Structure 1
Amino acid sequence: MTYVKTTLQHSIDIDAIITLHYFEYMKNFEFKGESHNFWEFLYVDKGTVAVRADDTWTTLYTGDIIFHQPNEFHAIKSIGKDSPNLVVMSFTSSSQAMSFFVNKSFTLNMEERAMISRIITEGRHTLATPMHIPSVEQVQLKEHAPFGSQQMILLYLEMFLITLIREHQEERAPLYSISLLPRKNLQSRNASAKF
Protein backbone atom coordinates (compact mmCIF):
# COMPACT_ATOMS: atom_id res chain seq x y z
CA MET A 1 0.00 0.00 0.00
CA THR A 2 1.32 3.44 -0.94
CA TYR A 3 0.33 6.40 1.17
CA VAL A 4 0.13 9.79 -0.50
CA LYS A 5 0.13 13.01 1.44
CA THR A 6 -2.50 15.67 0.81
CA THR A 7 -1.45 19.28 1.28
CA LEU A 8 -4.29 21.27 2.81
CA GLN A 9 -5.00 24.79 1.63
CA HIS A 10 -4.71 27.81 3.91
CA SER A 11 -7.64 30.12 3.16
CA ILE A 12 -6.50 32.86 5.55
CA ASP A 13 -2.99 33.36 6.90
CA ILE A 14 -2.22 36.01 9.49
CA ASP A 15 1.35 37.22 9.05
CA ALA A 16 1.66 39.25 12.25
CA ILE A 17 -0.35 41.13 14.84
CA ILE A 18 0.21 44.84 15.40
CA THR A 19 -1.97 45.61 18.41
CA LEU A 20 -4.48 43.94 20.69
CA HIS A 21 -6.54 46.14 23.00
CA TYR A 22 -9.42 45.67 25.39
CA PHE A 23 -10.40 48.83 27.19
CA GLU A 24 -13.20 51.04 28.47
CA TYR A 25 -13.52 54.43 26.83
CA MET A 26 -14.85 57.44 28.68
CA LYS A 27 -18.46 58.41 27.90
CA ASN A 28 -17.35 61.49 25.97
CA PHE A 29 -14.34 59.94 24.23
CA GLU A 30 -13.56 60.96 20.66
CA PHE A 31 -10.68 59.78 18.49
CA LYS A 32 -10.17 62.05 15.48
CA GLY A 33 -8.94 59.25 13.27
CA GLU A 34 -6.05 57.63 11.45
CA SER A 35 -5.20 55.32 8.59
CA HIS A 36 -2.50 52.65 8.39
CA ASN A 37 -1.37 49.92 6.01
CA PHE A 38 -2.78 46.93 7.92
CA TRP A 39 -6.16 45.46 8.87
CA GLU A 40 -8.05 46.38 12.02
CA PHE A 41 -11.32 45.32 13.60
CA LEU A 42 -13.25 47.04 16.35
CA TYR A 43 -15.69 45.01 18.43
CA VAL A 44 -18.15 46.63 20.85
CA ASP A 45 -18.31 44.47 23.96
CA LYS A 46 -20.57 46.98 25.72
CA GLY A 47 -22.12 50.32 24.86
CA THR A 48 -22.70 52.37 21.72
CA VAL A 49 -20.17 54.12 19.49
CA ALA A 50 -20.15 55.93 16.18
CA VAL A 51 -17.41 54.74 13.84
CA ARG A 52 -16.18 56.48 10.73
CA ALA A 53 -14.88 54.49 7.76
CA ASP A 54 -13.58 56.92 5.13
CA ASP A 55 -16.55 59.31 4.73
CA THR A 56 -19.30 57.18 6.30
CA TRP A 57 -20.35 57.17 9.96
CA THR A 58 -22.00 54.03 11.34
CA THR A 59 -23.52 53.36 14.77
CA LEU A 60 -22.31 50.20 16.47
CA TYR A 61 -24.04 48.62 19.46
CA THR A 62 -23.11 45.87 21.92
CA GLY A 63 -22.10 42.80 19.92
CA ASP A 64 -21.27 44.66 16.69
CA ILE A 65 -17.94 44.48 14.87
CA ILE A 66 -16.52 46.56 12.03
CA PHE A 67 -13.48 45.94 9.84
CA HIS A 68 -11.13 48.59 8.48
CA GLN A 69 -9.11 47.58 5.46
CA PRO A 70 -5.53 48.79 5.00
CA ASN A 71 -5.23 52.55 4.35
CA GLU A 72 -8.89 53.23 5.17
CA PHE A 73 -9.31 56.33 7.30
CA HIS A 74 -11.25 55.55 10.49
CA ALA A 75 -12.34 57.41 13.60
CA ILE A 76 -14.55 56.72 16.61
CA LYS A 77 -16.58 58.54 19.22
CA SER A 78 -18.65 57.40 22.16
CA ILE A 79 -22.31 58.33 21.75
CA GLY A 80 -24.12 56.26 24.38
CA LYS A 81 -25.02 57.18 27.94
CA ASP A 82 -22.57 54.57 29.31
CA SER A 83 -18.84 54.15 28.81
CA PRO A 84 -18.23 51.66 25.99
CA ASN A 85 -15.96 48.61 26.30
CA LEU A 86 -14.12 47.86 23.07
CA VAL A 87 -11.80 45.26 21.58
CA VAL A 88 -9.48 46.56 18.88
CA MET A 89 -7.11 44.24 17.06
CA SER A 90 -4.86 45.06 14.15
CA PHE A 91 -2.90 42.60 12.04
CA THR A 92 -1.36 41.95 8.64
CA SER A 93 -2.56 39.44 6.09
CA SER A 94 -2.01 39.15 2.36
CA SER A 95 -4.64 36.43 1.95
CA GLN A 96 -7.02 37.06 -0.94
CA ALA A 97 -9.98 35.95 1.20
CA MET A 98 -9.56 39.07 3.37
CA SER A 99 -11.28 41.03 0.59
CA PHE A 100 -14.53 39.69 2.09
CA PHE A 101 -14.10 42.12 5.00
CA VAL A 102 -13.87 45.28 2.89
CA ASN A 103 -16.71 47.61 3.96
CA LYS A 104 -18.08 44.97 6.33
CA SER A 105 -19.69 45.11 9.75
CA PHE A 106 -21.79 42.47 11.52
CA THR A 107 -23.48 41.59 14.75
CA LEU A 108 -21.69 38.59 16.20
CA ASN A 109 -23.44 35.50 17.50
CA MET A 110 -22.45 33.94 20.82
CA GLU A 111 -19.97 31.50 19.24
CA GLU A 112 -18.19 34.35 17.44
CA ARG A 113 -18.07 36.43 20.63
CA ALA A 114 -16.57 33.48 22.47
CA MET A 115 -13.83 33.38 19.82
CA ILE A 116 -12.93 37.00 20.54
CA SER A 117 -12.89 36.16 24.23
CA ARG A 118 -10.38 33.36 23.54
CA ILE A 119 -8.14 35.76 21.60
CA ILE A 120 -8.20 38.22 24.51
CA THR A 121 -7.53 35.48 27.09
CA GLU A 122 -4.60 34.13 25.08
CA GLY A 123 -3.33 37.68 24.61
CA ARG A 124 -3.26 38.16 28.37
CA HIS A 125 -1.15 35.00 28.70
CA THR A 126 1.21 36.06 25.91
CA LEU A 127 1.64 39.84 25.86
CA ALA A 128 3.51 41.92 28.42
CA THR A 129 2.00 45.11 27.02
CA PRO A 130 -1.13 46.26 28.89
CA MET A 131 -4.25 45.89 26.75
CA HIS A 132 -6.17 48.74 28.35
CA ILE A 133 -3.88 51.50 27.05
CA PRO A 134 -5.00 52.47 23.52
CA SER A 135 -1.82 54.46 22.79
CA VAL A 136 0.33 51.28 22.70
CA GLU A 137 1.50 50.82 19.11
CA GLN A 138 3.64 47.72 19.49
CA VAL A 139 2.95 44.66 21.62
CA GLN A 140 5.72 43.19 23.77
CA LEU A 141 5.87 39.46 24.38
CA LYS A 142 6.16 37.92 27.84
CA GLU A 143 9.34 35.98 28.56
CA HIS A 144 7.57 33.02 30.14
CA ALA A 145 4.28 32.65 28.31
CA PRO A 146 2.56 29.24 28.09
CA PHE A 147 3.82 26.91 25.38
CA GLY A 148 2.45 27.80 21.95
CA SER A 149 0.59 30.89 23.13
CA GLN A 150 1.80 33.12 20.28
CA GLN A 151 0.64 30.56 17.73
CA MET A 152 -2.67 30.18 19.57
CA ILE A 153 -3.42 33.88 19.04
CA LEU A 154 -2.83 33.46 15.30
CA LEU A 155 -4.88 30.28 15.13
CA TYR A 156 -7.79 31.77 17.09
CA LEU A 157 -7.76 34.87 14.88
CA GLU A 158 -7.63 32.83 11.66
CA MET A 159 -10.45 30.58 12.89
CA PHE A 160 -12.49 33.64 13.86
CA LEU A 161 -12.11 35.22 10.41
CA ILE A 162 -12.90 31.97 8.59
CA THR A 163 -16.00 31.51 10.75
CA LEU A 164 -17.20 35.04 9.95
CA ILE A 165 -16.87 34.42 6.23
CA ARG A 166 -18.81 31.17 6.52
CA GLU A 167 -21.55 32.61 8.72
CA HIS A 168 -22.04 36.02 7.08
CA GLN A 169 -21.66 35.36 3.35
CA GLU A 170 -25.34 36.06 2.73
CA GLU A 171 -25.23 39.43 4.49
CA ARG A 172 -24.31 41.67 1.61
CA ALA A 173 -25.28 45.14 2.92
CA PRO A 174 -22.36 47.40 1.98
CA LEU A 175 -21.12 49.69 4.73
CA TYR A 176 -21.43 52.80 2.56
CA SER A 177 -25.21 52.34 2.46
CA ILE A 178 -25.52 52.35 6.24
CA SER A 179 -25.21 55.65 8.04
CA LEU A 180 -26.26 56.01 11.68
CA LEU A 181 -29.30 53.78 11.29
CA PRO A 182 -31.07 52.25 14.27
CA ARG A 183 -30.20 48.64 15.00
CA LYS A 184 -33.40 47.17 13.55
CA ASN A 185 -32.49 48.53 10.11
CA LEU A 186 -28.96 47.14 10.00
CA GLN A 187 -28.90 44.15 7.67
CA SER A 188 -25.46 43.04 8.90
CA ARG A 189 -26.14 43.47 12.62
CA ASN A 190 -28.64 41.19 14.35
CA ALA A 191 -27.81 40.01 17.93
CA SER A 192 -26.69 41.15 21.36
CA ALA A 193 -24.87 40.34 24.64
CA LYS A 194 -21.25 40.50 25.68
CA PHE A 195 -18.55 37.95 26.29
Structure 2
Amino acid sequence: MKTTLKGCVVEKCIRISALFSAFERIFDKDYYFGGETHDFWELVCVVEGAIRVTAGEDIFMLEEGQAVLHSPMEFHSFWSEKGTMPHIIVVTFAADVMPALKERRFRLLEGEIEMLCGLLSKSERIFRFEQEILVHQINAGREADAHLFVSGIENIILSACSRRGEGFTVIESAGAGNYRAIVRVLEEHMTERLSLQEVSQLCSMSESTIKKTFSRYAGIGMVEYFNQMKMRQAARLLEEGKSVGQAAEAVGFHDQNYFSTVFKRIVGMSPRAYLALRR
Protein backbone atom coordinates (compact mmCIF):
# COMPACT_ATOMS: atom_id res chain seq x y z
CA MET A 1 0.00 0.00 0.00
CA LYS A 2 1.44 3.35 -1.06
CA THR A 3 1.65 6.01 1.63
CA THR A 4 1.33 9.65 0.58
CA LEU A 5 2.85 12.24 2.90
CA LYS A 6 1.37 15.71 2.86
CA GLY A 7 4.41 17.30 4.46
CA CYS A 8 4.64 20.34 6.66
CA VAL A 9 4.86 23.71 4.96
CA VAL A 10 7.39 25.96 6.71
CA GLU A 11 6.98 29.60 5.81
CA LYS A 12 10.03 31.84 6.11
CA CYS A 13 9.85 34.47 8.84
CA ILE A 14 12.33 36.69 6.98
CA ARG A 15 12.97 36.71 3.26
CA ILE A 16 15.49 39.21 1.88
CA SER A 17 14.73 39.89 -1.78
CA ALA A 18 17.54 42.30 -2.69
CA LEU A 19 20.78 43.68 -1.26
CA PHE A 20 21.63 47.34 -1.70
CA SER A 21 24.81 47.77 0.33
CA ALA A 22 27.07 45.82 2.67
CA PHE A 23 30.16 47.33 4.27
CA GLU A 24 32.14 47.84 7.46
CA ARG A 25 34.03 50.98 8.41
CA ILE A 26 35.99 52.46 11.27
CA PHE A 27 34.90 56.08 11.67
CA ASP A 28 36.75 59.03 13.18
CA LYS A 29 36.05 60.20 16.73
CA ASP A 30 34.23 63.27 15.41
CA TYR A 31 32.28 61.50 12.66
CA TYR A 32 28.70 62.68 12.13
CA PHE A 33 26.29 61.13 9.64
CA GLY A 34 23.44 63.49 8.77
CA GLY A 35 19.92 62.08 8.72
CA GLU A 36 18.35 60.21 5.82
CA THR A 37 15.20 58.35 4.87
CA HIS A 38 14.95 55.49 2.35
CA ASP A 39 12.44 52.82 1.38
CA PHE A 40 14.45 49.75 2.45
CA TRP A 41 15.71 48.12 5.66
CA GLU A 42 19.04 49.01 7.24
CA LEU A 43 20.94 46.92 9.79
CA VAL A 44 23.58 48.85 11.76
CA CYS A 45 25.82 46.89 14.13
CA VAL A 46 28.57 48.26 16.39
CA VAL A 47 31.55 45.87 16.44
CA GLU A 48 33.68 48.15 18.63
CA GLY A 49 33.26 51.61 20.13
CA ALA A 50 30.02 53.52 20.56
CA ILE A 51 27.63 55.62 18.50
CA ARG A 52 24.63 57.76 19.33
CA VAL A 53 21.64 57.09 17.09
CA THR A 54 18.56 59.06 16.13
CA ALA A 55 15.72 56.84 14.89
CA GLY A 56 12.42 58.61 14.44
CA GLU A 57 11.94 60.47 17.71
CA ASP A 58 14.16 58.06 19.68
CA ILE A 59 17.74 58.92 20.62
CA PHE A 60 19.87 56.17 22.13
CA MET A 61 23.38 54.80 22.47
CA LEU A 62 24.67 51.70 20.69
CA GLU A 63 27.80 50.13 22.10
CA GLU A 64 29.91 47.10 21.28
CA GLY A 65 27.79 44.15 20.18
CA GLN A 66 24.56 46.15 19.90
CA ALA A 67 22.58 46.75 16.73
CA VAL A 68 19.54 48.53 15.36
CA LEU A 69 17.32 47.61 12.43
CA HIS A 70 15.88 50.71 10.74
CA SER A 71 12.58 50.06 8.99
CA PRO A 72 11.76 51.49 5.55
CA MET A 73 11.05 55.24 5.58
CA GLU A 74 12.31 55.68 9.15
CA PHE A 75 14.40 58.82 9.57
CA HIS A 76 17.78 58.01 11.12
CA SER A 77 21.26 59.40 11.75
CA PHE A 78 24.27 58.54 13.92
CA TRP A 79 27.56 59.93 15.18
CA SER A 80 30.63 58.77 17.10
CA GLU A 81 30.36 58.75 20.88
CA LYS A 82 32.48 58.39 24.04
CA GLY A 83 35.64 59.51 22.26
CA THR A 84 35.75 56.23 20.31
CA MET A 85 36.51 55.45 16.68
CA PRO A 86 33.50 53.16 16.16
CA HIS A 87 33.80 50.05 14.00
CA ILE A 88 30.42 49.72 12.27
CA ILE A 89 28.82 47.16 9.96
CA VAL A 90 25.94 48.29 7.75
CA VAL A 91 23.77 46.09 5.54
CA THR A 92 20.81 47.52 3.62
CA PHE A 93 18.23 45.37 1.90
CA ALA A 94 14.67 44.90 0.67
CA ALA A 95 12.55 42.15 2.20
CA ASP A 96 9.25 40.77 0.99
CA VAL A 97 8.73 38.94 4.29
CA MET A 98 9.55 40.46 7.67
CA PRO A 99 8.09 39.68 11.10
CA ALA A 100 6.19 42.31 13.05
CA LEU A 101 9.04 43.36 15.32
CA LYS A 102 8.21 44.88 18.69
CA GLU A 103 11.87 45.71 19.34
CA ARG A 104 14.34 46.63 16.62
CA ARG A 105 17.28 47.25 18.94
CA PHE A 106 19.09 44.16 20.07
CA ARG A 107 22.37 42.69 21.26
CA LEU A 108 24.20 40.20 19.08
CA LEU A 109 25.90 37.22 20.66
CA GLU A 110 29.66 36.92 20.20
CA GLY A 111 29.20 34.13 17.64
CA GLU A 112 26.71 36.26 15.67
CA ILE A 113 29.14 39.18 15.52
CA GLU A 114 31.87 36.83 14.29
CA MET A 115 29.48 35.43 11.69
CA LEU A 116 28.52 38.92 10.52
CA CYS A 117 32.16 39.99 10.24
CA GLY A 118 32.91 36.74 8.39
CA LEU A 119 30.14 37.39 5.88
CA LEU A 120 31.41 40.91 5.22
CA SER A 121 34.97 39.64 4.72
CA LYS A 122 33.71 37.35 1.91
CA SER A 123 31.38 39.87 0.28
CA GLU A 124 33.86 41.18 -2.32
CA ARG A 125 34.41 37.65 -3.61
CA ILE A 126 30.67 37.10 -3.90
CA PHE A 127 29.40 40.43 -5.21
CA ARG A 128 30.55 43.15 -7.54
CA PHE A 129 30.34 46.54 -5.85
CA GLU A 130 29.93 50.08 -7.15
CA GLN A 131 31.28 53.06 -5.18
CA GLU A 132 32.82 50.50 -2.78
CA ILE A 133 29.63 49.83 -0.81
CA LEU A 134 26.73 49.42 -3.29
CA VAL A 135 25.98 45.82 -4.26
CA HIS A 136 25.69 45.74 -8.06
CA GLN A 137 25.49 42.06 -9.00
CA ILE A 138 26.56 38.54 -8.07
CA ASN A 139 29.95 37.49 -9.41
CA ALA A 140 29.84 34.64 -11.93
CA GLY A 141 29.74 31.22 -10.25
CA ARG A 142 29.00 32.71 -6.82
CA GLU A 143 25.23 32.26 -6.82
CA ALA A 144 25.28 29.65 -4.03
CA ASP A 145 27.59 31.85 -1.93
CA ALA A 146 25.20 34.79 -2.43
CA HIS A 147 22.34 32.63 -1.20
CA LEU A 148 24.35 31.65 1.89
CA PHE A 149 25.29 35.31 2.49
CA VAL A 150 21.65 36.42 2.47
CA SER A 151 20.58 33.42 4.58
CA GLY A 152 23.26 34.32 7.11
CA ILE A 153 21.93 37.88 7.45
CA GLU A 154 18.37 36.56 7.78
CA ASN A 155 19.40 34.08 10.49
CA ILE A 156 21.30 36.69 12.50
CA ILE A 157 18.35 39.09 12.47
CA LEU A 158 15.81 36.37 13.26
CA SER A 159 17.87 34.97 16.12
CA ALA A 160 18.63 38.39 17.63
CA CYS A 161 15.05 39.65 17.38
CA SER A 162 13.73 36.54 19.13
CA ARG A 163 15.57 37.56 22.30
CA ARG A 164 14.31 40.17 24.71
CA GLY A 165 15.83 43.63 24.43
CA GLU A 166 18.30 44.64 27.10
CA GLY A 167 20.25 47.53 28.55
CA PHE A 168 20.10 50.21 25.88
CA THR A 169 21.08 53.67 27.02
CA VAL A 170 18.29 56.08 26.10
CA ILE A 171 19.56 59.65 25.94
CA GLU A 172 17.66 61.83 28.42
CA SER A 173 19.47 65.15 28.01
CA ALA A 174 17.62 68.46 27.71
CA GLY A 175 18.46 68.62 24.00
CA ALA A 176 17.15 65.11 23.40
CA GLY A 177 13.99 66.01 25.29
CA ASN A 178 13.51 69.10 23.12
CA TYR A 179 13.99 66.99 19.99
CA ARG A 180 11.33 64.47 21.06
CA ALA A 181 8.91 67.26 21.98
CA ILE A 182 9.32 68.97 18.60
CA VAL A 183 8.91 65.72 16.67
CA ARG A 184 5.71 64.92 18.58
CA VAL A 185 4.29 68.37 17.79
CA LEU A 186 5.09 67.85 14.12
CA GLU A 187 3.36 64.44 14.21
CA GLU A 188 0.27 66.03 15.76
CA HIS A 189 0.13 68.65 12.98
CA MET A 190 0.86 66.38 10.02
CA THR A 191 -2.05 67.79 7.99
CA GLU A 192 -0.84 71.38 8.34
CA ARG A 193 1.84 73.48 6.65
CA LEU A 194 3.75 74.80 9.66
CA SER A 195 6.50 77.38 9.54
CA LEU A 196 9.47 77.47 11.91
CA GLN A 197 7.85 80.41 13.70
CA GLU A 198 4.60 78.49 14.22
CA VAL A 199 6.41 75.41 15.55
CA SER A 200 8.37 77.68 17.86
CA GLN A 201 5.13 78.97 19.34
CA LEU A 202 3.57 75.50 19.63
CA CYS A 203 6.65 74.13 21.41
CA SER A 204 7.29 77.21 23.55
CA MET A 205 10.89 77.24 22.30
CA SER A 206 12.89 79.87 20.49
CA GLU A 207 13.52 79.44 16.78
CA SER A 208 17.26 79.28 17.44
CA THR A 209 16.75 76.42 19.92
CA ILE A 210 14.77 74.46 17.34
CA LYS A 211 17.44 75.05 14.68
CA LYS A 212 20.24 73.97 17.01
CA THR A 213 18.28 70.90 18.17
CA PHE A 214 17.68 69.65 14.62
CA SER A 215 21.23 70.40 13.59
CA ARG A 216 22.44 68.28 16.52
CA TYR A 217 20.07 65.33 16.39
CA ALA A 218 18.89 65.19 12.78
CA GLY A 219 21.57 66.86 10.69
CA ILE A 220 18.88 68.61 8.63
CA GLY A 221 16.57 71.58 9.13
CA MET A 222 13.19 71.27 10.81
CA VAL A 223 11.23 72.11 7.65
CA GLU A 224 13.08 69.43 5.68
CA TYR A 225 12.49 66.94 8.49
CA PHE A 226 8.78 67.83 8.52
CA ASN A 227 8.57 67.25 4.77
CA GLN A 228 10.30 63.88 5.15
CA MET A 229 7.84 62.95 7.90
CA LYS A 230 4.93 63.91 5.63
CA MET A 231 6.31 61.85 2.74
CA ARG A 232 6.75 58.81 5.00
CA GLN A 233 3.10 59.11 5.98
CA ALA A 234 2.06 59.65 2.36
CA ALA A 235 3.97 56.52 1.31
CA ARG A 236 2.12 54.49 3.96
CA LEU A 237 -1.21 55.86 2.72
CA LEU A 238 -0.35 54.93 -0.87
CA GLU A 239 0.48 51.41 0.29
CA GLU A 240 -2.93 51.25 1.98
CA GLY A 241 -4.64 52.01 -1.32
CA LYS A 242 -5.14 55.77 -1.17
CA SER A 243 -4.89 57.75 -4.38
CA VAL A 244 -2.11 60.27 -4.95
CA GLY A 245 -4.57 63.12 -4.40
CA GLN A 246 -5.88 61.61 -1.16
CA ALA A 247 -2.37 61.05 0.17
CA ALA A 248 -1.39 64.62 -0.72
CA GLU A 249 -4.41 66.12 1.06
CA ALA A 250 -3.82 63.94 4.13
CA VAL A 251 -0.37 65.46 4.67
CA GLY A 252 -1.34 69.05 4.00
CA PHE A 253 -0.45 69.44 0.30
CA HIS A 254 -3.28 71.02 -1.68
CA ASP A 255 -1.18 71.31 -4.84
CA GLN A 256 -0.77 67.74 -6.12
CA ASN A 257 2.00 68.70 -8.55
CA TYR A 258 4.07 70.26 -5.76
CA PHE A 259 3.38 67.23 -3.57
CA SER A 260 4.67 64.96 -6.35
CA THR A 261 7.82 67.07 -6.69
CA VAL A 262 8.58 66.88 -2.95
CA PHE A 263 7.72 63.16 -2.82
CA LYS A 264 10.07 62.33 -5.70
CA ARG A 265 12.91 64.37 -4.17
CA ILE A 266 12.62 62.59 -0.83
CA VAL A 267 11.54 59.06 -1.81
CA GLY A 268 13.45 58.85 -5.10
CA MET A 269 10.46 58.19 -7.36
CA SER A 270 7.13 59.78 -8.18
CA PRO A 271 4.03 58.88 -6.12
CA ARG A 272 2.52 57.05 -9.10
CA ALA A 273 5.70 55.03 -9.62
CA TYR A 274 5.77 54.22 -5.90
CA LEU A 275 2.11 53.23 -6.02
CA ALA A 276 2.68 50.96 -9.03
CA LEU A 277 5.71 49.36 -7.36
CA ARG A 278 3.79 48.50 -4.18
CA ARG A 279 0.67 47.07 -5.87
TM-score normalised to structure 2 length: 0.55
Name the structure 2 match of 1:61: 63
Letter paired with 2:39: N
Aligned partners of 2:40 and 2:11: how far apart in 1?
Answer: 23
* Aligned with residue 171 of structure 2, among 175, 179, 185: 179
Contact 1:20–1:90 under 8 Å retained in 2:
yes
Cα deviation, residue 142, structure 1: 5.4
* SS of residue matched to 1:16: strand
Aligned partners of 2:66 and 2:96: how far apart in 1?
Answer: 25
Contact 1:122–1:149 under 8 Å retained in 2:
no
Contact 2:68–2:106 under 8 Å retained in 1:
yes
Q: Which has the larger radius of gyration?
A: 2
Identity %: 20
**How does 1:1-195 map onto structure 2 within 5 Å?**
1-6=2-7, 7-97=9-99, 99-100=100-101, 103-129=103-129, 133=132, 136=133, 138-141=134-137, 143-144=139-140, 146=142, 148-166=144-162, 168=163, 170-171=164-165, 178-179=170-171
Cα deviation, residue 106, structure 1: 1.7
Q: Comparing both structures, which one devotes a greater share of its residues to helix?
A: 2
Letter paired with 1:25: F
Aligned partners of 1:142 and 1:16: how far apart in 2?
Answer: 11
Contact 2:47–2:86 under 8 Å retained in 1:
yes
For residues 74-125 of structure 1, the C-alpha deviation after alignment (integer angstroms, 9 at most, x for no partner) is: 001112323111001111113241x21x552122111221331233133232
Q: Which residues of structure 2 form unaligned runs of 5+?
A: 174-279
Cα–Cα, structure 1 residues 39 and 142, in superposed 2: closer, same or farther, change >3 Å? Answer: closer
Aligned partners of 1:172 and 1:157: how far apart in 2?
Answer: 21
Cα–Cα, structure 1 residues 53 and 117, in superposed 2: closer, same or farther, change >3 Å? Answer: same
* SS of residue matched to 1:164: helix
Contact 1:19–1:89 under 8 Å retained in 2:
yes
Supply the RMSD in Å over aligned alpha carbons: 2.6
Aligned partners of 1:20 and 1:141: how far apart in 2?
Answer: 12
* SS of residue matched to 1:119: helix
Aligned partners of 2:46 and 2:40: how far apart in 1?
Answer: 20
For residues 121-146 of structure 1, the C-alpha deviation after alignment (integer angstroms, 9 at most, x for no partner) is: 33232123279x5xx4x312353454
TM-score normalised to structure 1 length: 0.76
Cα deviation, residue 5, structure 1: 4.6
Contact 2:107–2:165 under 8 Å retained in 1:
no
* SS of residue matched to 1:148: helix
Aligned partners of 2:141 and 2:50: how far apart in 1?
Answer: 34
Contact 2:103–2:165 under 8 Å retained in 1:
no
For residues 42-91 of structure 1, the C-alpha deviation after alignment (integer angstroms, 9 at most, x for no partner) is: 10111111111012211111111011111110001112323111001111
Letter paired with 1:179: I
Cα–Cα, structure 1 residues 161 and 49, in superposed 2: closer, same or farther, change >3 Å? Answer: same
